[in-house]
Amino acid sequence: MEKSIKVFAPASVTNVSCGFDVFGFALTEPGDELVLRIKNRKGLHISSITGDNGALPTTPEQNTAGKALISMMNELDFKMGIEIDIHKKMPLGSGLGSSAASAVAAVFALNEILEKPFTKKELIKYAIEGEKLTSGGAPHADNVTASMLGGFTAVKSILPLDVFKIPTTLKLFAAVVHPQIEIKTADARKSLKKEVLLKNAVTHWANTAAFVYALMTGDVKLLSRSIDDVIIEPQRAGLIPKFFEAKEAALRGGAIGSGISGSGPSIFSLFDDFNTAHQIGSELKKIYEQINLRCDLYISAVNYDGAKVLG
């Protein structure tokens, strides 16, 4: 019997400065929508992809959503057919987890239509398989964890998979500017140094611990002092035009913290007030308009729900 479901998986901001490959949080928008249908004909078929300007492959083995579904179908020994339509509602190569959102939406949709044989946490391992396609084969789970679970999340390890949400009562808002240049995750990771100074590592560990404590206790001032990257950001900042100007403008305008989202080029700024987020976000966008660089702006509450059913 044929069935169908429509789901949404949100974009995500990862690293959050002090938590490279560890921290992330989900946005309310943008994100990806995906329609999954159970069909009588066997196999997995990607019927259509919209919003990608023809950039993404429809061959399942080469598509992040398809690859994630294949790993899940193999474990379930799924015998029926699946057909999916992917609607990209977010930019590619933006540092906002575009590939992760597609992978999360796919496995979440199949799980829902099968009446939840897995928990959301258990689904993450399948979504990671899709992410490998865009990260040069190196598994990382920060984007898929945030997109799947929502809220602020942390990845303790991948093998074995150990991820969790960080509880907080804070109501936070993000202003994300996306200068329209593309930075591929695999390329950005290759450029990173393999060793770090001990003093920088100690600073990073301290910021990481303080970040978690600040979220759990609602200490905004401590959170602000914790969102500081002394290792990765200095290596990637040069890839993003006007990065330091934008970051400084955000902090002057009252941002709790500001930094590179994922591998960039998107820049996130966190606020505890929506109107301030909107005002400062608009000012940051103007920085790029002044140099004739097209820029998207997203103003979003932190999304504490993660992937969800639309219909």
Give residue 250's pLDDT band: very low, low, confident or very high (50, 70, 90). very high
- The one-character DSSP state at 239 is G
Q: Which among 163, 21, 4, 144 has a CA at the least distance from the CA of 84?
A: 4
Q: Is the pLDDT of residue 135 over 80?
A: no
Q: Where are the alpha helices (DSSP H) in the chain?
A: 64-76, 98-113, 120-131, 142-149, 185-190, 198-217, 220-226, 233-236, 243-252, 274-289
- Note the pLDDT of residue 1: 58
Q: pLDDT tens, 12-45?
A: 999 999 999 999 999 999 999 999 999 988 899 9
Q: What's the CA angle centered on 25, arms 53 and 127, to 5 degrees?
A: 60
- Note the pLDDT of residue 182: 77
- The one-character DSSP state at 238 is G
Domain 3-167 has CATH 3.30.230.10: yes
**Rounded to an integer, what distance in angstroms lies between the CA atom of residue 242 and that of residue 219?**
30
- The one-character DSSP state at 230 is S
Sign of the Cα pseudo-torsion (200, 205, 209, 215, in order)? positive
Give residue 253's pLDDT band: very low, low, confident or very high (50, 70, 90). very high
Q: pLDDT tens, 163-208?
A: 999 999 999 999 999 999 877 777 777 778 889 999 999 999 999 9
Q: What are the backbone dihedrals phi and psi of residue 113, each rounded to the nearest 5 degrees, phi first?
A: -70, -25
- Note the pLDDT of residue 30: 96
The pLDDT of 80-84, averaged and rounded, is 95
Packing angle of the helix pair 64-76, 120-131 (nearest 10 deg): 130
Task: Report domain extents, the chain.
Answer: 3-167, 173-301
**Rounded to an integer, what distance in angstroms lies between the CA atom of residue 298 and that of residue 283?**
13
The pLDDT of 79-93, averaged and rounded, is 94
Q: What share of the chain is helix, strand, coil (3-state, %, to 5)?
A: 40, 25, 35
Superfamily assignment of 173-301 in CATH?
GHMP kinase, C-terminal domain (3.30.70.890)
Give residue 138's pLDDT band: very low, low, confident or very high (50, 70, 90). low
Q: What's the CA angle centered on 152, arms 117 and 209, to 5 degrees?
A: 125
The mean pLDDT of the chain is 94
